Structure 1
Amino acid sequence: MPVALALSGLANARDLGGLERTDGSLTPTGAFVRAEALDRVGSSGWQALRGHGVRTVIDLRRPDEVTGRVPDDMLAVQVDLDGDERDFWAPFEQDGRWGTPLYYAAHLHELPHRLAEVLQAIATAPAGAVLFHCGAGWDRTGLVAAFLLKALDVTEDAAAADYLASFANAQAMRALHGRSFDVEERHAVLGRFGHTADSAFREMYRQLDVDQWFRHAGVDEETERAIVTWRADPAGQAM
């Protein structure tokens, strides 16, 4: 199961460590943290994130969504993972798939430069854990997390468990942030396309070919190496 982080101001935060890989080993902790918007994180929460090793925060939201402020002793990076390609987004917004893994594969294929920019920010970040987030920490964050997990050969079961944790956290998220995260609507959309949240994620994850995507996106070797090793140095130590 994902390593949930009990931090003041966050209800959907977890470390991507401790997840089973296909060779039976576990992903390292302290490399990546995923979360929702950080607006409610106070001094104690930021101190806890520092204690967890977080030194870089990547905000995946669109420019008009960006809120809050990252402490000066952390590197703050804003990368618009969605983008403004209206021809791409219009059909997904019309039928609701934008809030589900049903858009992931198309996004990776048609807008590869968007994820490539995120991965480059991860690869060039200073030593320490990288926290990445969007608004709910659900699907933009989920897309990045899925790619990172597949890059380290995390099993389908473990990767799906990580994605589904956001559904399990939805009630706590609503209580903390004071708004709905449209759980029933997400389930309804998935159902119309013959899926559950679990099956939609698994289908996408099963078909995701990281090596092929790197070639498709034209990612440089240094960035690719940083991602497939989770930023480990040549001696195998996490950065």
Structure 2
Amino acid sequence: MPIALAVHGLANVRDLGGLEREDGSTTPAGVFVRAEVLDRVDAAGWDALRSHGVRTSIDLRRPEEITGSVPDDVLSLHVDLDGDERDFWAAFEADGRWGTPLYYADHLRELPHRLAAVLEAIASAPAGGILFHCGAGWDRTGLVAAVLLKATGVTEDAAAADYLASFANAESMRALHGRSFDVEERRAVLGRFGHTADSAFRAMYRQLDLHDWLRHAGVDAATERAIMTWRAL
């Protein structure tokens, strides 16, 4: 199961360590942390993140979504994972798939440079743990997490458990952030396409051939090595 963290100001935060790999080992803790928007993280919360080893924060949101700031001693990077390619996004926004894993495969195929830029930022970040986040810490963050988990051979069951943890955290997120994260709407969209959250994520994860995608995206050898080895840890 994902490693939940106690960070004041976050309700959908977890370490990607402790997840089962195909070879029977587990992923190392302290390398990658996923979360939602950081605006409510106070001094105590940042102390907890620093104590956990976080030294870099990567914000995956669009430029117009950017809010808040991080402490000066944490490197802050912004890499727009969505992009502004309206020809791509129009259909997904119209039918609601943008908030589900149902857009992942198309995004990877049609906008490979977007995720490639995130991976390059991860590979070139200084030593220490990396926190990456979007608004809800759900699907943009979920796409990056899925690729990182695939890279290190995490089992389908463990990767799906990580994705589904956001659904389990939804009520706590609503209480903390004071807004709905559209859980039932997400499920309704998935249902219209014959899926549950679990089946949609699993279908994408099962079909993802990361080595082929890295070639498709033109990811350089140093970045590939950093991602496949989780920064050589």
Mark yes or no: TM-score above 0.5: yes
Q: How far apart, CA to CA, are the structure 2 residues paired with 1:218 and 1:39? A: 34
Match of residue 18 from structure 2: 18
Alpha-carbon distance, 1:6 to partner: 1.2
Alpha-carbon distance, 1:116 to partner: 0.3
Match of residue 2 from structure 2: 2
Q: How far apart, CA to CA, are the structure 1 residues paired with 2:58 and 2:160? A: 23
1:77 aligns with 2:81: no
Alignment of 1:93-104 (within 5 A): 93-104=93-104
Match of residue 149 from structure 1: 149
Match of residue 222 from structure 1: 222
Q: How far apart, CA to CA, are the structure 2 residues paired with 1:69 and 1:126? A: 19
**One-letter amino acid of the counterpart of residue 73, structure 1:** D
TM-score after normalising by structure 1? 0.97
**One-letter amino acid of the counterpart of residue 49, structure 2:** L
Work out the number of aligned pairs and report it. 233
Alpha-carbon distance, 1:207 to partner: 0.2
Q: How far apart, CA to CA, are the structure 2 residues paired with 1:176 and 1:128? A: 28
1:67 aligns with 2:67: yes
1:193 aligns with 2:193: yes
Match of residue 172 from structure 2: 172
**One-letter amino acid of the counterpart of residue 100, structure 2:** T
1:163 aligns with 2:168: no
Q: How far apart, CA to CA, are the structure 2 residues paired with 1:127 and 1:215? A: 26
Q: How far apart, CA to CA, are the structure 2 residues paired with 1:200 and 1:167? A: 14
Q: CA RMSD in A?
A: 0.3
Three-state SS of the structure 1 residue aligned to 2:77 is strand
Alpha-carbon distance, 1:226 to partner: 0.1
Three-state SS of the structure 2 residue aligned to 1:34 is strand
**One-letter amino acid of the counterpart of residue 50, structure 2:** R
- Structure 1: which 5+ runs fail to align? 233-237
**One-letter amino acid of the counterpart of residue 25, structure 2:** S
TM-score after normalising by structure 2? 1.00
Q: How far apart, CA to CA, are the structure 2 residues paired with 1:193 and 1:4? A: 31
- Runs (4 or more) in structure 1 with deviation over 6 Å come to none
Alpha-carbon distance, 1:210 to partner: 0.5
Three-state SS of the structure 1 residue aligned to 2:28 is coil
